[in-house]
Chain A
Amino acid sequence: MAVGGVMGGVAVGRATTERTAVGPTTGRTTIGHATVDGATTKRTILHVDINSYFATLLQQENPRLRGRPIGIIKDVGRSCVIAASKEAKQHGVRTGSSLVEARRRCPGLMAVPASFDRYLDATKRLQRIFLAIAPPPNVYIFSLDEAFIDITTCRRYLYRRPRWAAERLQADIKVELGEWVTCNVGISHNRLLAKIASEISPKGSVAEISHANLDAVLASITFSDVCGVGYRLEKKLAKLGVSRPYQLRFYSVAELEPVVGPFWARELRRIAYGREPHVLRLIDRPQPHMKSVGRSITGYRLYDDEAEIRAILLNLMEEVTAKVRRMGLAGRLAFIRLYGHDDSWGAHRTLRYHLQRTDQLFEVLYRQLYQSWPRRFQIIKFWVGLGLLQPVSTVTPSLLPQDGQRQAVATAVDTISRRYGLFTVRSGALLNQPIIRPEVTGYLGDRQYQLEHV
């Protein structure tokens, strides 16, 4: 009760928040400041990372799996480990390992299929915990198992020490999801450093990067701990003899450009001083709706049967357009990409009109683009999508009567789907095929859809 009263007193709506960049040219880290009722508080970000999320939830629900090495696979018969328990990680099993390789490293490894619906539900429950710590828009769900929480405006009244908020989070998560579920919490003055802090801290702990330890941390971590820097970029930097972010301070943009290009040369210089890279700054950019919707699936085997390929593409397109319609959007960039073992082919078309129905997307992607594919390889992975999305209310509707009729059918199907589930009514071409159902991804690329529309 007392906490509720204090929370009311914060009146976040009245507080003025200003984020000020300090000393960008002096090589000092950018520091954010917020003004709360006239008092200046240093910007404080928490990064919460649930340890080995998929495997931990599985161990939470099944005590017989606790303490045992587990590899999560997408489904029975799949051969790629999409997540590993901490016990499996200790044996060197990594996300993306093949099951054969994982079992070679860890002979006792148990392969268990994922339960994506349950992971998404757990993420929604986590979101509620985060929102109890800091009100919107201070919570950003970064992926299924990670979130940034800006507690700057709450600090003066509730969490004079950010560690209090972090410890409350850890306790609340255990109450909500179970004793086995642990998380790391990183604390710092921006998202990059908060995420690094949670990455490098021991499982289930709280770590803070302040100005006092910033340089030491940047000199001791490798790029695998840095958000946005991938394996290929790490390899390019290794050629320069650079393996730690701090070393980048000794290279100018002009020296980095020939190796990593103009974009990354500037980005890496920011990272060298602990400033947020582009991928994290994008979070601040308001995104009223999703810009594109895509769906991919990796098959159990290689495909070259035309009827099967057609059905799989149609199935994926049904899901894409259903999502687009659910969000009240329409798009005019249609794209397709097909992958073989060591080859790929892709095509896209930017249309003059917006579309949101499967028959329209199928016409462009299958009847036009796919038919131009020279069929050089068998397909293992399919990817289709629709981009340049706009709210349908801002799009000029088609005046053709046949379009009106088809739209009415799509609307009727959507009504049935909302009540009984997607694919309850489906094309005859999918009747004799196993249906590929919607699923969430760990990265939660469609977070806006999953968290606001499902």
Chain B
Amino acid sequence: MYQSINEPVTVVGVYHRGQFTPRKFRWQRRQYVIDEVTLSSDTKDGGVRKRLYSVTAGPNVYRLEFNRETEQWQLAELWVE
């Protein structure tokens, strides 16, 4: 089940052919290297556009959210079993 986290994170990634790909993120003073971006989605709540990245880092799956209005990242959810 996904567990809500909603905490700010710092994300490092690369731009290639106009597309951003997150490579690693820092959450609670720990760095996580992203193995794979498994799905990305654009969502919209009113005029607030967000991009969601589902990523794997080690054995875990994370949902990172980029608010395109405020240009801020947060760790939205974490998969736990």
Rounded to whole angstroms, the CA-CA distance of A283 and B18 in the bound complex is 37
Contact B46 A420 (CB under 8 A): yes
Cβ-closest chain B residue relative to A437: B45
Within 8 A of A (CB), among B34-59: 36, 38-39, 41-48, 52, 54, 56, 59
Q: Mark A50-66, 1 if CB is under 8 A from B, else 0.
A: 00000001001111100
Q: Are B56 and A60 in contact (CB under 8 A)?
A: no
Q: Are A62 and B54 in contact (CB under 8 A)?
A: yes
Q: What mask results when residues 43 to 81 of chain B are scored 1 for a CB within 8 Å of chain A, else 0?
A: 111111000101010010100000000000000000101
Q: Closest residue of chain B to A66, judged by CB? A: B38
- Closest 9 A/B residue pairs (Cβ): A421-B46, A61-B54, A61-B39, A419-B47, A117-B43, A421-B45, A118-B41, A121-B41, A420-B46
Shortest CB–CB separation between residue A123 and chain B, in angstroms?
A: 11
Name A60's closest neighbour in chain B (CB-CB): B39
Check if A417 sits within 8 Å of B38, measured CB to CB. Answer: no
A64:B52 contact, CB within 8 angstroms: no
Q: Are A60 and B41 in contact (CB under 8 A)?
A: no
Inter-subunit contact A421/B39 (CB<8 Å): no
Say whether A418 faces chain B, with CB atoms less than 8 Å apart: yes
Residues of B near A60 (CB, < 8 A) are 38-39
Assess whether A121 is in contact with B42, with CB atoms less than 8 Å apart.
yes
Question: Is B1 on the interface with A (CB-CB < 8 A)?
Answer: yes
A299 surroundings in chain B (CB, below 8 A)? none
Q: Are A63 and B1 in contact (CB under 8 A)?
A: no
Q: Is A31 an interface residue (CB 8 A)?
A: no
- Cβ distance B16 to chain A, nearest Cβ, rounded Å: 15
Interchain CB contact (< 8 A) of A62 among B38, B44, B47, B48: B38
* B61 and A117 within 8 A (CB): no
- How many angstroms from the CA of A122 to the CA of B54 in the assembled complex? 14
Contact with B along A294-325 (1 / 0, CB 8 A): 00000000000000000000000000000000
Q: For the complex, is A27 an interface residue (Cβ under 8 Å from B)?
A: no
Query: Which DSSP category, helix, strand, loop or mixed, fits chain A's interface?
Result: helix
Residues of A within 8 A of B (CB): 57, 60-64, 76, 112-113, 115, 117-118, 121-122, 177-178, 417-422, 424, 454
Which of A63, A118, A177, A418 meets B47, CB within 8 Å? A418
Shortest distance from the beta carbon of B15 to any chain A beta carbon, whole Å: 19
Residues of A within 8 A of B46 (CB): 417-422, 424
A-B contact count (CB 8 A): 55
Which chain A positions have C-beta within 8 A of B54?
61-62
Q: What is the distance, in angstroms, from A23's C-beta to the closest C-beta of chain B?
A: 47
Measured CA separation A121–B1 after assembly (Å): 22
A122 to B42, CA, bound (A): 9
Given A62-B54, A63-B61, A64-B81, CB of A57 within 8 Å of CB of B47: no
B39 and A177 form a contact (CB under 8 A): yes
* Chain A residue contacts of B2, Cβ below 8 A: 112-113
- Known pairs A63-B61, A421-B46, A422-B46; A118 contacts B38 (CB<8 A): no
**A117 to B46 alpha-carbon distance, docked (Å):** 13
CA distance A454 to B79 in the complex (A): 29
Task: Known A178-B39, A419-B46, A454-B44; judge A62-B52 contact (CB<8 A).
Answer: no
In the complex, what residues of B have CB within 8 A of residue A424's CB?
46
- Chain A residues contacting B1 (CB-CB under 8 Å) are 76, 112
Complex Cα distance, B39 from A419, in Å, reads 26
B7-40: contact bitstring with A at CB < 8 Å (1 yes, 0 no)?
0000000000000000000000000000010110
Q: Give the residues in chain B near A419, CB-CB below 8 Å.
A: 46-48
Interchain CA distance A335-B58 in the complex, whole Å: 53
Known A63-B61, A117-B43; 12 more pairs at CB < 8 Å: A112-B2, A113-B2, A121-B42, A122-B41, A178-B38, A417-B46, A419-B47, A419-B48, A420-B47, A421-B48, A422-B46, A424-B46
Smallest CB-CB separation from A421: which chain B residue?
A: B46
Q: Across the interface, do B41 and A420 meet the contact criterion of CB distance under 8 Å?
A: no
For A424, give the chain B residue with the smallest CB separation: B46
Contacts known (A112-B1, A118-B52); A61 close to B44, Cβ less than 8 A: no
A122–B52 Cα gap in the complex (Å)?
A: 12
Closest Cβ neighbor of A57 among chain B residues: B39
